[in-house]
Structure 1
Amino acid sequence: MHPHLLAGRPPPLPHRRRPWQVTLRSALWRTRFAVAAAFLGVAAACIVQSLRPPDPPTSAVVVAAREIPAGTTLTSADVRVSRFPRSVAPDGAVTDPADVVGSAAAVPLATGVPVLPGLLADDEVRGPPGTVVATVRFADPAVAGLLSPGVRVDVLAATAEGGPGGVVATRALVLPVARQDGPGGALGLGGSGDASVPVLLAVSPTEAPALAGAAASALLSAVVVP
């Protein structure tokens, strides 16, 4: 006889596992609020994405990859390509780094500044927009070797008799100039201690005539200014 019958108790019912469908429905019911919130979040993200305006069209612009001193001959490591919105991309911007590699910076370039043709010194030797280039020989030939490209100077003119000097150019920009470094004839940029090499200055068009006149009749000197 079965032990449970001897004890006066009915035998236990056999254990039956719940169908997986029932288990799944139970789990979904317990987590219904979290599931609903997740679906609402996905729907809201889709709506925001669909309402966001498209990104504005951009243009490639070559910019300085680091701070570049004036007179530096640019290499591929000195420049990089950056994307600018077309509405703010500068006119005449260079788009291919190969177009500026080998050119020299006529003025100091800060990191991220577009490398525009007007900021480079080429065979034509140009100053910044709105300036003209003047050739100056100072009374002291050593001054040419002390002035590096990118420096700003006031040019003073004094008479040979020692009269008071007058300012003939204000904040003129020293430009790179090709020179011979030595007997080997290596081409470089910058000033020179040789009196035969002049200094190239970018001045305003109104200052150029006075500077030329003073160069013929006065002794010129330079004062470095900010």
Structure 2
Amino acid sequence: MDLKKTFSTPSWHRTLALRRILASILIGIALLLVAQSWLKKDPLAVVVLQDIPAGSTVTSTDVGLRAVPDTYLPNNSFSSVDDVVGLVAASTLSSGEIATEPRFVGTELINSIVSNVTEESSTEEINMVPLSLAEPSVIPLLQHGDTISVVSQDSDTGLPEKIAAGGKVILAGGTDPSTILIALPKSLAENVAAQSLNTPLAVVLTGDRAKNHHSEK
């Protein structure tokens, strides 16, 4: 085979030119991607700087802004420290975690955990009601998001009386260790609030966590 003749043919020159053009395009794309990664800045998000106990009000020293890659940025995160300062932590927030709306007492938290409202009251507005328990020692056993029933004792028979079912724990303890904050449909919340004025109240843990605890036994 005449190599000199092969390398000097027009088809070989065209192939070589095409390869060079393709290589140039690939190099250009690679350089463009590198330039984009250098120029692109990760969005800023509010991050917890130190542990915040449940029930505590967030201060300006508790949180700060940090660059977080889009891939790891939750949709319900905060981009301004001012939006977080003054909120109440629904559960203990750990240093380094990204602050998100459902981690604080408010509408977003209620929407995220209130899911078992009865059909009769499904169109009712959901209200939060603080509840002082007759036995505060059970509060450390509760977690926000737990499903509970509120019960009392019938003054005549001494038997337990259910006042409301399907409540959701929004905040357990907090600044007042004897009080929990629960979410209920408006009519049930008002009934619980009225009953609590004169009657000692207790809660019974129901829902998935109670079932899981029972099955473990």
Under a length normalisation based on structure 1, what TM-score does the superposition of the two structures give?
0.48
Determine which structure has more spread, i.e. the larger CA radius of gyration. Answer: 1
Bigger helix share:
2
Under a length normalisation based on structure 2, what TM-score does the superposition of the two structures give?
0.50
